[in-house]
Amino acid sequence: MDASNLKQITPWLWEFPTAGNMRVPARIYGDRALVAAMDDAVIRQLANVAALPGIVRAALAMPDAHSGFGFPIGGVAAFDPDQDGVICMGGVGYDIACGVRVLHTGLRREEIQPHLEALMDQFQLLVPAGVGGTGGIQLKAGELDRVLVQGARWAVKQGYGTREDLERLEDGGAMSGAVPETVSDQARKREKRQLGTLGAGNHYLEIQCVEEVLHPSAGLLGVASDDVLISVHCGSRGLGHQIGTDYIRILGEAARRHRIPIPEKELVCAPIRSSEAERYYQAMACGANYAMANRQMIVHLIREAFQRVLPGVQVRTLFEVNHNTCRREDHPVEGRSRPLYVHRKGATRAFGPESPQIQEPFRRTGQPILVGGSMGTDSYILAGRESSEDAFASTCHGSGRALSRSQALKRTPGRDVLTQLTSRGILIRTNHLKGLAEEAPAAYKDIHQVVEASTQAGLTNKFARLSPLGCLKG
DNA sequence: ATGTTC
């Protein structure tokens, strides 16, 4: 992207001014190099989003943004129900409430090292992974509806976790507003035996070590140097994908009736107060609850693996954050708190300390966020700040793709990626070499640069830098 | 991301 077409607001924030049918400007967070490296489609898609009814302040892109289906990945947009604002499928994406759970093993680097191979083997054995992957639990008749409403709380009630896990999940593990009747038979059919499965693509389960503590309050999150953590990155599987697919048609018809122009298929939307948008929100909340239950089931499998290899180890939840959602949240608009519908696609919430909109354990630090690097690179723990409110309390979610999947496939064969990572001492487990090539480190932006831009822009503070020890890829 | 182009 040619940054000379953009107005520099700060060295970490750029603006594409309102033009044509845009109602608000488009703004991109990132340093000059990150913005210059973004594909032009990011601006085109942000301009499309900026033209939607009821959009507030600006259409935003985080420093890890790249083009997505209809709406950039790394995109944020908020809509006001009193200004004919809309709910937009593309602002959530297909993998509803994809997110990251972060666990603490209670172990230090030297304690885990002799058991790493055995642990990775057990993870591979116990956690089903891959496209179309089943092997998750078979739900009894009627049970799925309870999962869709209760989310991770359902899993804990079944004995797959603890109350302490739930205290550290968004909404205590159950997003409100879920109505199972809005989820199609087709979506239910695709769900069969996928609860407790990792999925494919950039989804992973990684053992990580705290390399560097970067904030004096890191201890409040329970993180210290050389601690061994686990990150689980996955989402709502076939069920969430089918909900997205189903509502493209429903929201598309609504958009036509309300005469909202839809330049790209997945940008379909409907007025927040229409029955179609209400139903989409209810179905999306079901997808979010499925994703949170899914991660909770995987946490249970991780604990099972530890029981086999290192019995007695207590694996605790540190936090979880979703990065593909639309949520009703209160935000100040022109000095007054307003209920807005905030879409974050490949972007996470980043409320600062004291915010009533985050779980109680995080009120002193701000919302904790795991920003995943690509496979084999560092990750960061960040926490939200009050100044993130400029971006509707949002920040980046990962390092962000620099190459498309097909470009990455051409660049490096999967076997070479495996060799490179192994030679750096990272244990890789996968059943799918092609997937490894698509997710090669070279296919991603530089995580350090993305995190630095987010920090300099005032969206988040750095709390810790993590390095990978072992990775199970979907 | 995804019953890997319904």
Q: Is residue A420 part of a domain?
A: no
Domain assignment present for A37: yes
**Residue A449: is its pLDDT beyond 90?**
yes
Burial of A326 (0-12, 13-18, 19+ CB in 10 A): buried
The strand ranges marked E within A277-356 are 316-322, 324-333, 336-345, 348-349
Mean pLDDT (whole number) for A173-180: 98
Asked if the structure places residue A65 within a domain, the reply is: yes
Amino acid at A246: D
Report if residue A243 sits inside a domain. Answer: yes
pLDDT of residue A183: 98
Residues 6+ apart with CB under 8 A from A249: none
**CA A362 – CA A222 distance, rounded (Å):** 11
| A143 found inside a domain | yes
A164 CA to B6 C1' in angstroms comes to 42
Q: Any idea which residue has 């007025």 for tokens? A: A271
Which secondary structure element, helix H or strand E, spans residue A250, and what is its range?
helix A237-257
CB atoms within 10 A of CB A283: 29
Residue A413 lies in a domain: no
Which amino acid is present at A26? A
User: pLDDT tens-digit profile of A73-105?
Assistant: 999 999 999 999 999 999 999 999 999 999 999
Domain that holds residue A292: 3-402+444-473
Question: What is chain A's Cα-based Rg?
Answer: 21
Q: Look at residue A407 and tell me if it is in a domain.
A: no
Q: What pLDDT, in 10s, does the model give residues A147-164? A: 999 999 999 999 999 999
- CB within 8 A of A173, min separation 6: which ones? A150, A151, A152, A153, A155, A156, A165, A166, A292, A293, A296
Q: What is the pLDDT of residue A83?
A: 97
Asked whether residue A145 is marked as a ligand-binding residue, the answer is no
Q: Which residues touch strand B (CB under 7 A)?
A: A 94-95, 98, 130-132, 186, 189-190, 194, 199-203, 234-235, 237-238, 241-242, 439, 474
pTM across the whole model: 0.97
CA–CA dist A453, A32 (Å, integer): 10
Tell whether A425 is covered by a domain.
no
Q: What is the pLDDT of residues A356-387, one digit of tens each?
A: 999 999 999 999 999 998 888 999 999 999 99
Closest alpha carbon to A196 in A143, A231, A236: A236
The CATH number assigned to the domain holding A455 equals: 3.90.1860.10
Task: Convert the pLDDT of each residue in A247-290 to its tens digit.
Answer: 999 999 999 999 999 999 999 999 999 999 999 999 999 999 99
Distance A416 CA to B5 C1' (A): 28
Domain total in chain A: 1
Residue entry with tokens 């790209």: A264
A401 has pLDDT over 90:
no
Q: Is there a contact between A337 and A330 (Cβ–Cβ < 8 Å)?
A: yes
A235, closest nucleotide (Cα–C1'): B1
The helix or strand, by DSSP H or E, that contains position A109, with its residue range, turns out to be helix A109-112
Q: CA A95, C1' B2: Å apart?
A: 9
Write out the catalytic residue numbers of A: 397
Cα dihedral sign, A293-A296-A302-A308 = negative
Phi-psi region of A172 (alpha: psi -120 to 50; beta: other; left: phi over 0): left
Per-residue pLDDT, averaged over A455-461, amounts to: 98
Largest CA distance in chain A: 63
Please tell me the distance from the alpha carbon of residue A14 to that of residue A24, in angstroms, as a whole number: 14
Cα(A61)–Cα(A335) distance, rounded to whole angstroms?
23
CB of A5 closer than 8 Å to CB of A28 = no
Q: Is the pLDDT of residue A411 over 90?
A: no
Which of strand B's nucleotides are less than 7 A from any protein C-beta?
1-4
* CA distance linking residue A86 with residue A274, whole number of Å: 9
